[in-house]
Amino acid sequence: LDRVKAMTSSAPFPTTMLSLVRARAVRAASTSMKRSMSSSAPSGSNKRLVLAYSGGLDTSTQLRWLADKGYEVIAFTANLGQGGGIVEEDFSGIEEKALKSGAVKAYVLDLQEDFVKNYVFPIIRSNAIYESRYLLGTSLARPCISKAQVAIAKKEGCKYVSHGSTGKGNDQVRFELSTYALAAGLECVVPWRIPEFYNKFQGRQDLLAFAKERGIPIAMDAGNRPPYSMDDNMFHISFESGVLEDPAATPPESTHKYTTPLAKCKETHDDVQIWFEKGDPIKVKNLNTGEEASTPANILKFLNRIGGQHAIGRIDIVENRYVGIKSRGVYETPGGTILRAAHLDIEALTLDREVLRIRDMLSLKYSELVYNGFWFSPEMEFLQHSMDFTQRHVNGEVRLRLFRGNAIVLGRSSPNSLYNKDIVSMDVEGGFDVSHSEGFIRTQARRLQAYRNMAYPKGRDLPSV
């Protein structure tokens, strides 16, 4: 309960809403804790459970352990374009692997188009960015996975869902808030929060020994395991933990997966053109080669490949987790970085000034909600509708030059442009009466003069000349 209270203590909600969120979270945590403290085995006739399954050591071990505790485990693997289009992850053997690990059934769902269209593109439309740097690549994958996981649970008549997230991270919050928001009657079983499990498995070697003992098909440690953890989807790849837990440590060069190290990137630029319709990218073209892409997933993979060659979209940050911990992460988001730059530029041409400013204020809140796991909340629905309303006239194209870590805008155009060349021109009068500027300036200056007279009756300090 203390962890739940700490998790919600910094939530930026009004007091009454915060109290409701805390109360619900505390009740849910209390129920979960009572169940795990009394027995890790399920009770009753419905022992079916859907596990979000990656096929790695952690979830393979958890699958077998859950099966040993009496659960009928249905493994679910989400294809979110892992590899980013730079390499393609092979899912062909994962069903068989899950069944050999103890699953009674296995699903592998291709969610690539759904992920980009319904989760990545809304992020781009909203210009969401957490703490000014993080493009939310992991955060927005969790609700996409959860929605499919809940659908499988409903189809299979399951009472339980499970995931492999630890008790210190953000993902446990994201998965479980999404589950509780999407359907009634489901309970979350989280091995890494069950004492019997985490006391038994205190490190990788314990997991490997259990896998060997139980015949779980997992690659045994050959001594060349990366000294950090990775998580990837089509939008980004993240590197955390291990040697990266020291915020002063320089990341190993092996953490370059989606981006080429700057010293090794292409020596010639690539120019791309991106077309937008209602804030969504609908087409991209490499102006050097003529190569094009026009579906959501293909657009993102295209930009990942070309952006990665130019070392675009790599950051190394310390961020504030929702559970109250600071963490260090290295992220690579080449395609998303390019799309954000292009979208900001086409918006500058098509959005009214005051709408743009209000949207920017809402983007901050939007980013916090996504990061903290409130994708399916009522406030998120409100913000998404508001964001999409601003995008009705965000149509047009942007041309960018990609070179050595930079996405440099070359030009833009739109049928809905609010830019008037004649009005802004220094050479054309264009219907703008410059004599009106004096009255505008004097009006704006009145409050500055009033403040000066009140706060500095003897005048402000000026430099000696």
Which residue among the candidates 48, 101, 171, 238 is catalytic per the annotation?
A: 171
Which residue among the candidates 22, 142, 340, 412 is catalytic per the annotation?
A: 142
Question: Alpha-carbon distance 235 to 248, whole Å?
Answer: 27
Question: Could you give the 3-state DSSP secondary structure of residue 319?
Answer: strand
Which residue among the candidates 19, 39, 229, 437 is catalytic per the annotation?
A: 229
State both tokens at 173.
Answer: 């919050």
In sequence order, what are the beta bridge partners of 110? 79
Q: Which helix (H) or strand (E) holds 112?
A: helix 112-115
State both tokens at 280.
Answer: 């969504």
Is 60 exposed, middle or buried, given 0-12, 13-18 or 19+ CB atoms closer than 10 A? buried
Question: Alpha-carbon distance 388 to 122, whole Å?
Answer: 8
What residues contact residue 184 under an 8 Å CB cut-off, 6+ apart? Answer: none
Q: How far is CA 171 from the centre of its chain?
A: 11
Question: Could you give the 3-state DSSP secondary structure of residue 92?
Answer: coil
Please, are residues 77 and 100 in contact by the beta-carbon 8 Å criterion?
no
Beta strands across the sheet bearing 48-52: 105-110, 72-79, 48-52, 160-162, 187-189
Question: Alpha-carbon distance 381 to 126, whole Å?
Answer: 13
DSSP string, 387-435: HHHHTTT--EEEEEEEETTEEEEEEEE-TT----HHHH-SS--TT--TT
Question: Could you give the 3-state DSSP secondary structure of residue 303?
Answer: helix
Question: Alpha-carbon distance 453 to 458, whole Å?
Answer: 8
| Degrees to nearest 5, angle at CA 259 with 175 and 88 | 60
Strands 187-189 and 229-232: unpaired
What residues contact residue 449 under an 8 Å CB cut-off, 6+ apart? Answer: none
DSSP code at position 218: -
Is 142 tagged catalytic?
yes
Question: Could you give the 3-state DSSP secondary structure of residue 27?
Answer: helix
Is 377 tagged catalytic?
no
Is 229 tagged catalytic?
yes
**Listed residue (99, 209, 173) closest to 376, CA to CA:** 173
Please, are residues 381 and 367 in contact by the beta-carbon 8 Å criterion?
no
Question: Alpha-carbon distance 195 to 465, whole Å?
Answer: 73
> Which active-site residues does the annotation give?
58, 142, 171, 229
